[in-house]
Amino acid sequence: MEIGFSSEERQFREQCRDWLHANVPAERRPMDAIDAIDFDKAWQRTLFDAGWAGINWPVDYGGRGLSIVQQVIWLEEYARAHAPWIGANFVGVNHGGPTLIANATDEQKAYHLPRILKGEAIWCQGFSEPGAGSDLAGIRTTGRVEGDELVVNGSKIWTSFAHVADWQELVIRTEPGSSRHKGLSWVICDMHSPGITIRPIRKISGQTEFAQVFYDDVRIPLANVVGGLGNGWRVSMSTLGFERGTGFIADQVKNAIEVEELIGRARANGMIRDDRIADDLAQMRAEVAALRAMTYRNISEVIRTGQPGPESSVIRLFTSELGQRIERMAVTLMGEAMIDFAYGDDDAVADYLRGFAATIAGGTAQIQRDIIGERLLGLPKSR
């Protein structure tokens, strides 16, 4: 691929910068999911009305149909403008919607896609389970076919935004006696259905962003199955590909900006004179550059094949672990001010505490290493 941007792409960057400068909310996004839900919906609606929602979605489905290079430009400017995280809209916009576009029926697309883009319907992801974690093939939640419905029983855990969600991308075992990746189905679950119980999980940072979800004879129409009964593994792989391939580009850009800000902070408070801190910051700057190169390589692969490959797991793992080191450095540079920290007063401590979840979200670090070992390095399967 050509490294650099064309004149049209540079012009597009100016358009992004101008719109963000005029429209980024002055107020901070609330940190707790319940407190933030109205903010998230309003910001998503603002993006939609201006044509910036679903920038990677096809125009036929209400998106902007931008190239992946333009997506990167938008995300870079978005991070530089300190625009708010899309929060509760993350699942629907970044991988729920794209999964529907790739696998759903016309009826499913017509109903759900506009609501996702406008911020009218919040989605969550029902993949991880107690006892299985991010091992998708270890799913035990079942869906029994009765007439034209599935009767679902089981439990999911670490479900981000479940307590504020309207719909869920839910993977269940619909073939009795099946094991591992066989006999699974990907279904659209109405989170307001009778039989669903949601217990929010309070994190160490004080926020309730995750939840455990219980299903007790929850009835879901067979019409909500995406990609056909028993094809859940294939559909789920496309979901995870979208999530790991492009869903975290914004995090990478945020990491790059934060490292430069930390270097400036260390120079300002004199801590840059500590050789250990200077070395660590230099290492982070180099790793950010390496991550950017890997991302551009992955983008080149997506342009060539149309789908992110298993290489996206390298980027996902590297992004999350580098992010944790950056957040730890931010707290270190606070010095004695960290002792007087009160929740909500400084993003650095809250980001540091939230960062412990980064190597769990979207598949644990161990799962990413399994994928890298098996699909990229050709090592024997671990299970």
Distance, CA of 82 to CA of 20 (rounded, Å)? 9
pLDDT at residue 225 in the model: 97
Which pTM does this prediction carry?
Answer: 0.81
**223 pLDDT above the threshold of 70:** yes
User: What would the two tokens of residue 143 be?
Assistant: 């869906």
User: What would the two tokens of residue 268 be?
Assistant: 């300002």
Note the helical H segments in 118-248.
Answer: 232-245
pLDDT at residue 340 in the model: 64
Q: Do domains 7-118 and 123-231 have the same CATH topology?
A: no
Which range is least confidently modeled, 77-81, 188-192, 216-220, 285-289? 77-81
- Segment (H or E) for 152: strand 149-156
pLDDT at residue 19 in the model: 97
Active site residue 146: no
pLDDT at residue 3 in the model: 57
Phi, psi of 142 (to 5 degrees): -110, 155
Cα–Cα distances (Å) from 383 to 256, 361, 369, in that order, read 36, 21, 13
Could you state, in order of their start, the residue ranges of all structural domains in the chain?
Answer: 7-118, 123-231, 245-377
**343 pLDDT above the threshold of 60:** no
Here the contacts of 258-261 (C-beta below 8 Å, separation 24 or greater) are: 258/326, 258/330, 259/284, 259/285, 259/288, 259/326, 260/285
pLDDT at residue 44 in the model: 96
CATH code linked to domain 123-231: 2.40.110.10
| Residue pLDDT, tens place only, 10-29 | 999 999 999 999 999 998 88
Q: What percent of the chain lies above the pLDDT cut of 70?
A: 89
> Is residue 366 classed exposed, middle or buried when 0-12, 13-18 and 19+ CB atoms within 10 A define those classes?
middle
Tell me the average pLDDT of the chain: 86
Among 169, 243, 311, 327, the active-site one is 243
Q: Read off the pLDDT of each residue in 302-311 and give the average, rounded to a whole number.
A: 68
Q: Read off the pLDDT of each residue in 311-330 and give the average, rounded to a whole number.
A: 86
DSSP reduced 3-state for 117: helix
Say which CATH architecture domain 245-377 belongs to.
Up-down Bundle (1.20)
- Site of tokens 């699974």: 184
CATH code linked to domain 7-118: 1.10.540.10
| Residue pLDDT, tens place only, 42-71 | 999 999 999 999 888 889 998 888 887 888
